[in-house]
Structure 1
Amino acid sequence: MMKRLPKGAAQRGPQERYAAGRRAGLVLAVLMLGGCTVGPEYRVPALSLPTDWGTESAAARETAVPELSRWWTELDDPTLNGLIERASGQNLDLAAARARIREARASYRQAGGALQPSLDGSGSTGLAGSDNSIDGQFQAGFDASWELDIFGGRKRRVEAAAYGVGAAEEDLRDTMLTLIGDIASNYVSARSFRARIDLARRTAISMRETESLTRARFRAGATAASDMANAAGQASSTEANIPALEVSFAEAVHRLGVLTGQAPGALAAMLRNGAPIPRPTRPIPTGVPADILLTRPDVRGAERELARYTALIGEAEAARYPSVSLTGSIATSGTSIGDLAKGSSIGWAIGPSLTVPIFNGGQLEAAVDLARAQRDQFEAAFRSTVLTALEDVENAIVALAQERIRNRSLAEASESYREAARLARSLYGAGSISFLDVLDAERSLYSAEDALLQSTARIATGYVTLNKALGGGWDGVLETAAAAPASG
């Protein structure tokens, strides 16, 4: 109801105004006492997880809680450490993930603000006149409103926004985990290809020396022309491997440049030296399968998304019930600005308003069904993420363990072929064996040494993969403030 007071009566009638406000308060109290928060209360789904990893033997099992923070430092490679530190501040995927956190936090503040009353001020000026005069007209006032969250719809929206912040933070950690793994894997690849290039060049030089020896023996009539041709052919075949390896090395270096927020070729000079392939020296405690619920950011993020969509069911449910708002306004008008403060006409109104959904073609009920279906999708996604995480760990454990066994065999083979090649060259010089035996020994030695380098790289990559699968990453402190990525 709007009540208008005569000029100069702004201070009169306090009893009437108090009584009106008291009646409005009593109505609101009754409504609030009858209110409740609708929608399901979120609980983490019950999961049936194995008690240990099925791919490990009891003797080899490391069930201690894994120390996953900054795991890459165990590789003891300062260059790799520096690349990861640089990427943590300059990678563009991380910059986008940080922005998503700021977006989620702003949405949370926005949803929380909707629970508070709102107050708006207004003012206007104009001219009003008749045949004999023109007068100024000035108006000013305030409007206040407060929608009561009787059925908890807005509370559920705030709850969903809070879960959204958690999901965004886990997304940042997952992005960081992926980034660290990609940098480490590509760094291992770059070192591996560099080592294989150096091996191919050393082997080609040795084969060219063998070719020169064969050519001299041919001129002396001590060997056939076919031996000289075979020696040249084998040296050229080994040299032909180098360009393909150079391409692979360049691709790994270029990827590292981009991952660290730089131009693709920014790291080429730094990584061209012959540093060894990183190699882990200590076993990784893998803990128990239930640990991934705490350590894997993708699992934690999927759980937060499930919680968020569970809360949104309550918001949709609340929209089906009546809504109550408390509104109030006060306005003053006069023929001059000075009149607004005194001697003006003042009007005010206060009271609750009730909105009841009566007919909407089933839209509100459909919105609830939609929210429940979305919640069910995210629950399935959460359970699938957990199973995928278990699979990742199981696969990584097997791959790393078997590659270590393979590496030991390749190391023994390389040593044997190295001795065989030395003896073959010595016996060939003494005329005890044919040149084909020398070529075969050199070819076998090169293949064994190249396979050993690849296996060593696979062990390092397997170490990276297992730490990623277990959820290893940063130390949990990630800067989320906006920062302009460096250009190089």
Structure 2
Amino acid sequence: MQICSHFHKRVSVIIAPVVLSMALTGCVVGPDYRKPALTMPSHWGTKTQLAKSPQLSRWWRQLKDPTLDALIEEAVAGNLDVASAKAKIREARASYREQKGALLPSLDGTASAARTRTAASDTSSEATIYSQYQAGFDASWELDLFGGNKRAAEAAKYGVEAADEELRDTMLTLVGDVASYYVQAREYQALRDLARRTAVSQRKTAALTQAEFKAGSATGVDAAKADALASSTEADIPTYEISYATAVHRLSVLLGKPPAALEERLKAGGPIPKPTITVSIGIPADILNSRPDVRLAERQLAQYTAKIGQAEANRYPSISLTGDIASSAASISDLGKKSTIGWSVGPSITVPIFQGGQLKAAVDVAKAKRDQYYVAYQAAVLSAMEDVENAVVSLTQERLKHSKLSSSAASYRRATDLSRTLNQAGVTDFLDVLDAERSLYSAEEALIESQASIASDYVALNKALGGGWEGEEEKKNRLRHSCWGRLTKPACG
């Protein structure tokens, strides 16, 4: 007992000044978060693009396609992934309020009632029955001298910001996917219509060749090849129908609707979206602020940096102020009047003395997680830069390819007309006509596919730059984050 008493006195002598100092300074252990200063290139690898800041908000409207505009509006309102991301934001905000509540005192009210019967004794006393009522309050307040609760609230605040960025990233992906599948749907419609037109023309040619064969002016080989060419083109139609249906079904699901919901709406067809403007891509440092996945990775890094201080605070003593007051009486009406009143108040201190290294290990775990998120942040930045570089190259080269394919299709069109004229004049063989028709069909297919690739690359570039939805709620969230102050004071030295 003397040893224990002496030990507690020594602990009190050592701890008391530290506690008093911490109470006065409000010290918070653990590192304060500072956004990493990453070294970014001064320009992109492709220097032909405009370096001014890109216009990313609702970029798809530059495609001048009202149907696409309406589909994206509906997708943002009805997509299930967006609904899930919004629920995660509500969860993160509730967790933040919960952690802030830990910084304040807690007060609980208590009440009890009992009906008691005492047994009669063997001597003279009889059994008695009486009632007892009790009411009171319990209060407690953890002083959070080393900032563990403050760091937890700080981490929760960063968690809210991360959830907001996750919603923006979900919307960016959603807008890009809706635009991409819409382009695909229009592409497969155009390819199907091309196959139908070409098959009708080739089938007429086959019928004419068959008639000429019967009249003796064409060979059996000519008739067979003309029929084979028409059948080959007709076989492409089901393939394009399958691809078109798949794209439409995916679009419907992205809008939060049954797969067949858009079939009637899109069956009339429409042009493949054609971007007519050059996209300004800015400088690489812009993606640190424009890409929501990069901002998400940075907010997660901030969150797990704060958790280091939370783990570190568990290694220090904790002090709580507790108190209670209770009143008891034989009837409810006597509570607070003729009742007995008892109370207690005082501090309690908990000192971690030996935990088998668990608390230090918890700090090391938190630091390791912070380091993992730092690497993830760097990886997100590099991946974003790669996306932009790839999209710029693809869009630039596809436009060059499209120009050449346009010239090629025009030349094949002239060659087809000329070969038919020469064949009718008996100058060339009929096989030259079939070869010209086959080449023209392939050239027009490639031209449509290239036009769709330009639109898809345009979508990919805006997505890579971080362009997406920016509604009123998102604007409010961004303003709210810019107004939030720091929760913690400078950390202990």
**If the length of structure 2 is used for normalisation, what is the TM-score?**
0.90
Report what 2:312 is aligned to. Answer: 317
Q: Displacement of 1:219 after TM fit? A: 2.2
Equivalent residues of 2:248, 2:262 under 8 A apart: yes
Matches within 5 A, 1:207-356: 207-356=202-351
Deviations 1:414-473 (A, max 9, x none): 000001101111111111100110001000000000000000000000000000000000
CA offsets per residue over residues 86-133 of structure 1, 9 Å max, x none?
A: 011110000100000000000000000011100000011112344332
1:380 aligns with 2:371: no
Match of 2:99 among 98, 101, 111: 111
Equivalent residue number for residue 95 of structure 1:
83
**Cα offset for 1:220?**
2.0
CA separation in 2, counterparts of 1:134 and 1:29? 52
**Cα 1:302–1:350, aligned 2, differ >3 Å: closer, same or farther?**
same
1:48 aligns with 2:39: yes
Unpaired runs of 5+ residues, structure 1, are 1-25, 482-488
Decide whether the 8 Å contact of 1:28 with 1:352 is kept in 2.
Answer: no
| CA offset digits 1:255-289 (Å, max 9, x no partner) | 00000000001101111123110010000000000
**Is the contact made by 2:95 and 2:156 (CA closer than 8 Å) also made in structure 1?**
yes
Q: Supply the distance in 2 between the matched residues of 1:136 and 1:30 (Cα, whole angstroms).
A: 50
Task: Judge which range, 124-133 or 369-378, deviates more.
Answer: 124-133
Indicate the residue corresponding to 1:128 in structure 2.
Answer: 116
Q: Compared with structure 1, are the counterparts of its residues 125 and 210 closer, same or farther at alpha carbon in structure 2 (3 Å cutoff)?
A: same
Q: Once the 2 structures are TM-superposed, how far is the Cα of residue 195 of structure 1 from its aligned partner?
A: 0.2
- Offset at residue 341 of structure 1 (A): 2.3
Q: CA deviation at 1:30?
A: 6.1
Note if 1:475 corresponds to 2:453: no
> After TM superposition, which residue ranges in structure 1, 4 or more long, deviate above 4 angstroms?
26-31
**SS of structure 1 residue aligned to 2:355:** coil
Task: Report the Cα distance in structure 1 between the residues aligned to 2:344 and 2:157, rounded to whole angstroms.
Answer: 36
Q: Mapping of 1:149-168 within 5 angstroms? A: 149-168=144-163
User: Given the alignment of the two structures, is residue 190 of structure 1 paired with residue 185 of structure 2, yes or no?
Assistant: yes
Q: Is the 8 A contact 2:320 2:349 kept in 1?
A: yes
Which deviates the most, 405-414 or 40-49? 40-49
Residues of 1 paired with 2:19 and 2:334: CA distance?
A: 35
Q: Could you tell me whether the CA contact under 8 Å between 2:420 and 2:433 is conserved in 1?
A: yes
SS at structure 1 position matched to 2:382: helix
Which residue number corresponds to residue 490 of structure 2?
Answer: none
The 3-state SS of whatever aligns with 2:344 is strand
2:56 alignment partner, SS class: coil
Identify if the C-alpha distance between structure 1 residues 28 and 381 changes in structure 2 by more than 3 Å, giving closer, same or farther.
closer
**1:380-409 residue CA offsets vs partner (Å, 9 max, x unmatched):** 000000000000000000000000000000
* SS of structure 1 residue aligned to 2:472: coil
Is 1:80 aligned to 2:75, yes or no? no
- Structure 1 residues 129 and 31: CA distance shift in structure 2, 3 A: farther
Going from structure 1 to structure 2, the CA distance change for 1:436 and 1:478 (only over 3 Å counts) comes to farther
Cα offset, 1:216, TM superposition: 2.2
In structure 1, how many angstroms separate the alpha carbons of the residues matched to 2:67 and 2:262? Answer: 11
CA RMSD after TM alignment: 1.6
**Do residues 421 (structure 1) and 416 (structure 2) align?**
yes
2:482 aligns to what? none
Match of 2:356 in 1: 361
Q: Which moved further from structure 2: 458-467 or 470-479?
A: 470-479
1:153-198 Cα offsets, whole Å, 9 max, x none, are 1000000000000000000000000000000000000000000000
CA distance in 1, matches of 2:298, 2:25: 33
Q: Which runs of 5+ in 2 are unaligned?
A: 1-16, 121-125, 477-493
Superposition deviation, residue 28 in structure 1: 8.1
Quick check: 2:139–2:323 contact (8 Å CA) kept in 1? yes
C-alpha distance in 2, partners of 1:287/1:186? 27
Higher mean alpha-carbon deviation, 194-203 vs 332-341, is at 332-341
Question: Given the alignment, which residue of 46, 50, 54 partners 1:62?
Answer: 50
Indicate conservation of the 8 Å contact 2:22/2:146, yes or no.
no
d(CA) in 1 for partners of 2:85 and 2:177? Answer: 17
